[in-house]
């Protein structure tokens, strides 16, 4: 029921995913009459794999997490997470209020042993491939211990994506030991002592894009600002290039060559917006689709949840955490 | 004597500035024999406007600020700042250790009344022009009061650049009141109550590049990471476009059209590297050239100092601070 555009695009994305993936079963949680109306006319075959579960309340986008936790026992978000906890579904995808989703996920699903706070992670494109950046905004005011936990989770997530020995770095304002705030200096000490993590030290904002690490760890405030400023910058550069190609008559034809690249890059740079971000560290799979995601964005988030189900991400995370943190 | 390339490019930049600006007098502070060797052969006319002041010590790039303060009374950086304090020069430009320059500036020059900590500011390109972003890395672990002071200083700096009523925003991970860490929420409360500041609320990373504010305020940790990740991203995009234009034979000729734009944009996006960043809030003009700045970069930093002298920036800042903070 959440997201900037409400359930309409979520239902559309769900129907598209059902058509594309014959083994998929989806459960929509929300107000049945509204949802029925939106899926009206769907073919009988796909309809059989689509279940509606009633939830009478909706958490709004500006609601405080504490309010969402205490005040709305029958919210669509909470009911969906309870279905996941009770094993009736295998993953939960939401485009709703991030803070509320995080608070409810922690409360309903609980975190994995050794993890205080789940983190949001997404793949950021670099000059050499991708890096997993976390946290992207689920946690502000993190301690050094939280950053250590993010590092462990990010490392394991990168391993499930096929990187044997992920290079893990802490985002900082310099690479020398004396640089940074107290939080990041202390986290470096903890990471140096951590077993089983290929900690390579501090990384700066430009080093991230040069591809110097596979996993980059920071608190949610910094990660969110890095992500969103990158989206904004990519958009600005695309606009400037578009303007350049329009200005010059001779170049207009060639603009067609550069623009698709820029568009793809923009999508690449907005992974949280386009593909969803995963919550790591929960006893269950939760994917957060961006609030302003359209139909395609929400489809990508469902796809991501499917991959995490196939990869058994929480189980693998649990196993590695026991080894690493014990 | 500082910077990643030592005094060679600084001397070259100084000589170029002397030729370009007949009214300019420069004082080089450092080891006289080395400096004399580097300026050897300069024409007599320009040489008359170039003074060398001896300083026997050099602060290295990885030295701790406290060490620089206590251990080296005759460092080139300190002697240069003392010349400024004593009115023998009108501005100080350095490519050295940022933390040491900040600590020594505060100690030697003192801050303006009402300012606890100077901030580093540079102009960041946006879709509609430029915004002044501060702090860029001089201060980590800032309090809400420091962010308020940065806002006041940034607003005044933008005014001296010709913006009558600068829109001042706080960088945050959302625009709703409930978003962000404690520091930024408290700073918002302080800014709402501050007189004479056109505070427009929170801004996100993408809003900054959309040009939604003239002054964007954040702590030095966040600002530095935003700046450097933007530099890294711009470089990555330029590399990808270059590769695209090289791949396709027909497009190679047109690549020549797009690349100069990308190069200029990269320079735009690296204002601290290319043009230097100003320290605001001191009783004197200090411009920090990036450690890895080449000859052109250091020239730009000298130019920036010249403008600040012409604009009487510290005086104007002092006057406005008295009005705003009294």
Helix/strand/coil (H, E, C) string of chain A?
CCCCCCHHHHHHHHHHHHHHCCCCCEEEEECHHHHHHHHCCCCHHHHCCEEEEECCECCCCCCCHHHHHHHCCCEHHHHHHHHHHCCCCCEEEECCCHHHHHHHHHHHHCECCCCCCCEEEEEEECCCCEEEEECCCCCCCCCHHHHHHHHHHHHHHHHHCCCCCCEEEEECCCCCCCCCCHHHHHHHHHHHHCCCCEEEEEECHHHHHCCCCCEEECCHHHHHHHHHHHHHHHHHHHHHHHHHHHHCHHHHHHHHHHHHHHHHHHHHHCHHHHCCEEEECECCEEEECCCCCCHHHHHHHHHHHHHHHHHCHHHHHHHHHHHHHC
In a domain, B45, yes or no: yes
Instruction: Note whether A137 and A65 are same-domain residues.
Output: no
Domain that holds residue A94: 1-115+281-311
Instruction: Note whether A162 and A266 are same-domain residues.
Output: yes
Instruction: Note whether A268 and A123 are same-domain residues.
Output: yes
**Is B244 at the interface with chain A, CB within 8 A?**
yes
pLDDT at residue A165, rounded to an integer: 95
CB A55 within 8 A of CB A31: yes
Q: 10 Å Cβ neighbour count for A160?
A: 15
**Is B138 at the interface with chain A, CB within 8 A?**
no
DSSP annotation of B112 reads P
Flag whether pLDDT at A191 surpasses 90: yes
Residue B171 to residue B190: CA distance in whole angstroms: 15
**Is B14 at the interface with chain A, CB within 8 A?**
no
| Binary contact (B225, A221; C-beta < 8 A) | no
**Is B64 at the interface with chain A, CB within 8 A?**
yes
Residues of chain A contacting B236 with CB distance shorter than 8 Å: 125-127, 209-210
Instruction: Note whether A207 and A268 are same-domain residues.
Output: yes
Residues of chain B contacting A240 with CB distance shorter than 8 Å: 261, 265
In a domain, B159, yes or no: yes
**Is B240 at the interface with chain A, CB within 8 A?**
yes
In a domain, B170, yes or no: yes
pLDDT at residue A180, rounded to an integer: 87
Whole-number mean pLDDT of chain A? 88
Instruction: Note whether A199 and A293 are same-domain residues.
Output: no
CB A286 within 8 A of CB A101: yes
pLDDT at residue B213, rounded to an integer: 98
Maximum mean pLDDT: which of A218-232, A249-263, A302-316, B175-189: A218-232
Residues of chain A contacting B125 with CB distance shorter than 8 Å: 236
CATH code for the domain in which residue B261 is found: 3.40.718.10
| Binary contact (A218, B225; C-beta < 8 A) | yes
CB B297 within 8 A of CB B276: yes
Taking residues A141-164, what's their average pLDDT? 90
pLDDT at residue B252, rounded to an integer: 67
CB A68 within 8 A of CB A100: yes
Best B124, B224, B237, B249 residue to mutate vs chain A (most A CBs within 10 Å): B237
Domain boundary among A226, A243, A273: A273
Q: Place A156 in a pLDDT band, splitting at 50, 70 and 90.
A: confident
In a domain, B319, yes or no: no
pLDDT in single tens digits along all 326 residues of chain B: 877 777 888 999 999 999 999 999 999 999 999 999 998 877 777 888 999 999 999 999 888 888 888 989 999 999 999 999 999 999 999 999 888 999 999 999 999 998 988 999 998 889 998 899 999 988 888 999 999 999 999 998 898 788 999 999 999 998 888 788 889 999 999 999 998 899 999 999 999 999 999 999 999 999 999 999 998 998 888 787 777 767 665 566 666 666 676 677 667 666 655 677 899 999 999 999 877 777 888 898 998 899 889 888 899 888 888 877 66
Instruction: Note whether A96 and A175 are same-domain residues.
Output: no
In a domain, B325, yes or no: no
pLDDT at residue A235, rounded to an integer: 85
**Is A310 at the interface with chain B, CB within 8 A?**
no
Taking residues A101-113, what's their average pLDDT? 94
CA–CA min distance B44, chain A (Å): 42
Instruction: Note whether A104 and A134 are same-domain residues.
Output: no
**Is A208 at the interface with chain B, CB within 8 A?**
yes
Angle between helical axes of A295-311 and A313-325 (0-180°, round to 10): 60
**Is B259 at the interface with chain A, CB within 8 A?**
no
CA–CA min distance B1, chain A (Å): 20
Domain boundary among A243, A273, A303: A273
CA proximity to B239, closest of B268, B225, B259, B269: B259
| Binary contact (A235, B261; C-beta < 8 A) | no
So what's the ipTM on this one?
A: 0.85
Give the number of beta-carbon pairs within 8 Å between A and B.
162
Higher pLDDT, A272 or A299: A299
In a domain, B234, yes or no: yes
pLDDT at residue A54, rounded to an integer: 97
Instruction: Note whether A39 and A70 are same-domain residues.
Output: yes
In a domain, B173, yes or no: yes
* Span A245-284, pLDDT tens digits: 676 655 666 666 666 766 776 676 666 566 778 999 999 9
Domain boundary among A273, A303, A321: A273
Distance of CA A326 to the CA centre of its chain: 27
In a domain, B308, yes or no: yes
- Among the partner residues B125, B208, B237, nearest to A265 by beta-carbon distance: B237
Q: Place A187 in a pLDDT band, splitting at 50, 70 and 90.
A: very high
Higher pLDDT, A224 or A98: A224
**Is B239 at the interface with chain A, CB within 8 A?**
yes
Query: Which stretch of DSSP H or E encloses residue B275?
Result: none
Instruction: Note whether A181 and A200 are same-domain residues.
Output: yes
Instruction: Note whether B79 and B135 are same-domain residues.
Output: no
Domain count within chain A: 2
In the three-class reduction of DSSP (H, G, I as helix; E, B as strand; rest coil), residue B205 is classed as helix
Instruction: Note whether A159 and A245 are same-domain residues.
Output: yes
**Is A258 at the interface with chain B, CB within 8 A?**
yes
Query: Which stretch of DSSP H or E encloses residue B4?
Result: none
Instruction: Note whether A170 and A100 are same-domain residues.
Output: no
């Amino acid at each position: 029921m959440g997201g900037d555009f409400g359930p309409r695009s979520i239902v559309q994305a769900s129907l598209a995913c059902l058509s594309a993936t014959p083994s998929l079963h989806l459960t929509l949680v929300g107000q049945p009459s509204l949802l029925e109306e939106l899926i009206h006319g769907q073919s009988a075959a796909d309809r059989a794999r689509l279940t509606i579960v009633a939830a009478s309340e909706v958490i709004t986008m500006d609601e405080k997490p504490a309010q969402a936790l205490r005040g709305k026992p029958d919210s669509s978000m909470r009911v969906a997470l309870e279905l996941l906890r009770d094993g009736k579904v295998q993953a939960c995808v939401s485009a709703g209020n991030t803070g509320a989703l995080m608070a409810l996920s922690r409360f309903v699903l609980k975190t994995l042993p050794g993890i205080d706070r789940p983190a949001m992670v997404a793949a950021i494109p670099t000059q050499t491939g991708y890096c997993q950046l976390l946290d992207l905004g689920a946690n502000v005011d993190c301690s050094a211990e939280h950053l250590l936990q993010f590092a462990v989770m990010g490392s394991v997530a990168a391993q499930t994506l096929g990187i044997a020995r992920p290079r893990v770095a802490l985002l900082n304002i310099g690479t020398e030991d004396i640089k940074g705030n107290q939080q990041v200096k202390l986290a470096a000490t903890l990471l140096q002592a951590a077993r089983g993590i290929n900690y390579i030290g501090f990384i700066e904002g430009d080093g991230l894009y040069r591809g110097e690490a596979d996993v980059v760890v920071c608190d949610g405030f910094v990660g969110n600002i890095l992500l969103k400023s990158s989206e904004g910058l990519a958009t600005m550069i695309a606009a400037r290039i578009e303007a350049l190609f329009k200005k010059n008559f001779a170049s207009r034809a060639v603009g067609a060559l550069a623009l698709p690249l820029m568009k793809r890059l923009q999508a690449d740079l907005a992974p949280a917006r386009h593909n969803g971000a995963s919550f790591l560290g929960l006893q269950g799979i939760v994917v957060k689709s961006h609030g302003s995601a359209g139909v395609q964005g929400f489809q990508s988030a469902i796809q991501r949840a499917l991959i995490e189900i196939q990869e058994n991400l929480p189980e693998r995370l649990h196993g590695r955490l026991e080894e690493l943190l014990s």
